[in-house]
Structure 1
Amino acid sequence: CPECQVPLRRSNFRVQLFEDPVIEKEVDIRKRILRDYNKKEEDFATLEEYNDYLEQVEEIIFNLTNGINTIETNRRIDQYKKENREQILKSKMKLGRGELELEELLEVEKQMEQERVNDLAQEEVEQRRKKIRAKEALIDELMFSHGDATDILKNFQAGLDAELRAEEAAKANIVPKQTQFSTGIKFTDRHAYKPLIMQEEGPLYVYEPPRFECNGPTPPSWEEITAEGSGYLDHIRRPTPDESAGGFDSALSCSRALQEAVVSLYYTNT
């Protein structure tokens, strides 16, 4: 560094992902801390202990991100590493096996995709060969047969249609193979999905404003409360800038207080 004369390594630099450098710093610290604080919920006896552990992790990340008690926080991290060294290694081994299984699933998916592409290419080649053989057979029939050319073409087309229907029926009887992808979701061929059942359409929704049963004198309306010179808001606390930014208005609390003051005044116990 030209200012502090600290030697810097090029390997420590990387492309910034977030516009805010504080967020970038927090993400980097979180990744580094979670490499060692890698316990799962099943590692704790109760949910409360697991929540306390998560709170401790967040406190450490917050302190390191904002430069609060960094020396004491780093000392806590070192102490945790010493006390839980075996547990950290076991958790990392679990992650390694999980990543290995994921790679195996991805490799299986890649092989299946390649097999599907090869099957499609082979089927396309076979279709071309069938067309060539059918064309040659039609030419031979027209050359050496003594029948009418129109009848020969009709019979030939009928034979092609019957062969096509037989192939489609054979494909329909094939049970689609179920595939489990690396995400854990199982998929079959897209033609195996059942069509959606159309629901009967009912009448359209018509909005009706809610009725307010006051059972007492009619409270002043919003327009009356907020009208200039009405006097309703003279002794009501003004909202703070934060409250105004959140959408709060003093007329809301005033209107509710007036409604509570007059509601059920006409109530009689019958």
Structure 2
Amino acid sequence: MDDQGCPRCKTTKYRNPHLKLLVNVCGHSLCESCVDLLFIKGSGICPECGTSLRRNNFRLQLFEDAFVEKEVDIRRRILKDFNKKEEDFPTLREYNDYLEHLENIIFNLANNIDVENTKKMVDQYRKENKEFIQKNRLKMSRDEEYLEMLIAEEEREAKSRRELDMIEVKNEKNKKMKNKEALIDELMFSDLPASAIVAGHNVEIMEEKTTENTAPSSMFSSGTSFGFSKADGKVPVLSDLGEEYIHTPCIFDMLGPVAPTEKDVINNGYLQNIREASDSDRGGGYESRMACQRALTEAMCGLFLDSENLT
């Protein structure tokens, strides 16, 4: 960035850190002072290439390489007319050919290759697809609509969070103000020593914070409520046991041979052709014996199924 500078006055960003470089359609950059000097009448010629330029078409250079700035500007102008989407083509092949043709146009204009014929091609396309171009400018694609919806939703959530934070901060300020006023009143009208009053006031504030941070009693998904014992305030204590749950084993009809048990899988050599579980696999809950038993169960399930006797 320190090597960037104006090609006319030779001022660099190293000498002047506040130097502003402007660029036009030709892709050559000039500093703001040189632009004001050369284009004082509104139009002029580029000192680098001699292209006729207008003052109001200069814009701030965002990229270090002026060629990149030129290509971005050309791409932005061309895409206003070549605005077809994938859904506008009957096949993916035609859409890819269209994108390739578009990139060839941008490449030719950015590198000054056959510029006149390329501009004629763009003008011809603009005339032949005038109605379609205007229609697509007014219509957003499905992706753009979805993106707009996500942005709007994020903005609403951010606004809601900011409002809640502001309310919380305001409530906290009001609470501190009330505690301060209560402390002042107590210091004024109480006969106790000031140190004892301040200490008692601090204890009350700490108790309030502890009460706010203590989670309220809740209940399990079955409806059984639970709380905390008063002895230590840490151990959950069931307050409503409800009816005793009786486990009933599931009846699984495999319609096939009985699958080997986990013990059979280990003792009968089933694991010889199974990849051994690594430490990371075991950390994620994977065991080779479990995978082997499940594969054998799935292989044997339904082998005795008779489709003719199905009702």
Q: TM-score, length-normalised on structure 1? A: 0.49
* Structure of higher RCO (CA pairs closer than 8 Å, 6+ residues apart): 1
User: More strand by proportion, 1 or 2?
Assistant: 2
User: More helix by proportion, 1 or 2?
Assistant: 1
